């Protein structure tokens, strides 16, 4: 089985996430992860935007809170 390369977009601004995802796709990434901070900041609409921008790639929606609590506190401040 071929390894899968995934990029995690653990950002808080969608306008930054899309260009980073595009660069990752150009570099050969297989899966694009909308990280928890990005989804909490931008809403689940960012998942739809990523799927529209990269229709042939798997989009992963990481919606947990345990791993980047500090960033989530910053978002809600």
What's residue 59's pLDDT? Answer: 96
**Residue 1 included in any domain:** no
Q: Mean pLDDT, to the nearest integer, of 37-51?
A: 92
Range of the domain at 25: 6-76
- Specify whether the CB–CB gap between 44 and 69 falls below 8 A: no
Q: Given pLDDT bands bounded at 50, 70 and 90, which one contains residue 68?
A: low
What's residue 22's pLDDT? Answer: 98
Question: How many distinct structural domains can be found in the chain?
Answer: 1
**Residue 68 included in any domain:** yes
What's residue 20's pLDDT? Answer: 98
What's residue 64's pLDDT? Answer: 74
- pLDDT tens, position by position, 8-31: 999 999 999 999 999 999 999 999
Confidence check: pLDDT of 73 > 80: no
């Amino acid at each position: 089985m071929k390894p899968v390369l995934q990029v995690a977009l653990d950002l808080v601004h969608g306008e930054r996430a899309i260009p980073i995802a595009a660069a990752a796709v150009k570099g050969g990434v297989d899966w694009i992860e909308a990280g928890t901070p990005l989804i909490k900041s931008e809403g689940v609409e960012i998942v739809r935007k990523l799927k529209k921008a990269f229709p042939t790639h798997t989009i992963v929606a990481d919606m947990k809170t345990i791993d980047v609590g500090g960033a989530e506190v910053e978002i809600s401040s």
